[in-house]
Amino acid sequence: MSVSLFSDLICSECQTVYVASDVQNFCKNVDCSETLLARYNFQQVRISKDKLKNRPFTMWRYREFLPVIHPENIVSLGEGGTPLFKAERLGKLIGLPHLYWKDEASNPTGSFKARGMSAAISKAKELGIKKLAIPTAGNAGVALAAYGARAGMETHVYMPRETPDIHKKEVEYYGGNLIEIDGNIGDCGKLIAELAPKFGWFNVSTLKEPYRLEGKKRWVMNWPSSLIGNYPM
C-alpha cells in the first residue's frame, strides 16, 4: 500500500523529468548535472489535522510528503520532532517577534544529518540498493553508518584524517567501513566519484542524490499548538 504522494523527479536547472522508480543521482544531461528534486501530487492531499496529531512524533508523521512509497521500506531511528524554542531577546533585538531556533542536536545521531539520511537510506532500500558511500567531515558519515546499520546495508565513509576522533569512532561503532584520507572533504568526494562505479557503491554525497534533501525539509504549519504540539517538525 502506497503512503506517499511522491510522483517523480525534476532537474532543478534544466527541468528534465526523471522516473522515480529508477535509481537516480543527479541530472544526466551533459551540460547540466544539477540536483534532482522530488515532486508530489499535492492535488491528492486529503490529510486531516487530527490524523497527523495521532501519529508518532517523528519526521515520518508527514510520510505523504516524503519519497518512500511503501511503509515497510522506512528506515527510522526516531528522527525529527526536535524542539523549537522562541528566541525572544534576539527576536526583539532584530525586530522579529516570531523568531525561533531549532535544537537539531536531539536527533538520533546528534545533528540534522539524521533526517536526510533517514530519507536517503529508506529510498535506497526501496530501490534495492545495498552498498553506499559518502565523503564527510563528520556528522553525515556517522548518520550514514547508523542508518545503514539499521537497514543492514554496507556503508563506506571517506573522512579527512584530521576529523575529530569522536566521529571516526562513531562510524566504526555502527559498523561502517571508515577510510581516512590525507586531504579535505573535496578530496574524499573525488575518490568516491572515481571508486563508486568500480565497486557498485551508491554515492550519497550532498546534492549528488535526490533524497537526503527531502529529509532535511522543515515543516512550518500555521496550525494551533493544541493540534500539533509546540514542537513542529
Report the C-alpha gap between 195 and 193 in whole angstroms. 6
Strands in 154-160's sheet, in edge-to-edge order, are 177-181, 154-160, 131-135, 202-203
Report the C-alpha gap between 113 and 139 in whole angstroms. 7
Decide if pLDDT at 59 tops 70: yes
- Mean pLDDT taken over the chain: 89
**In 174-217, beta strands by DSSP E:** 177-181, 202-203
pLDDT digits (tens, 9 = 90+) for 83-130: 889 999 999 999 999 999 989 999 999 999 999 999 999 999 999 999
What's the pTM?
Answer: 0.88
pLDDT digits (tens, 9 = 90+) for 147-170: 999 999 999 999 999 999 999 999
Distance of CA 157 to the CA centre of its chain: 16
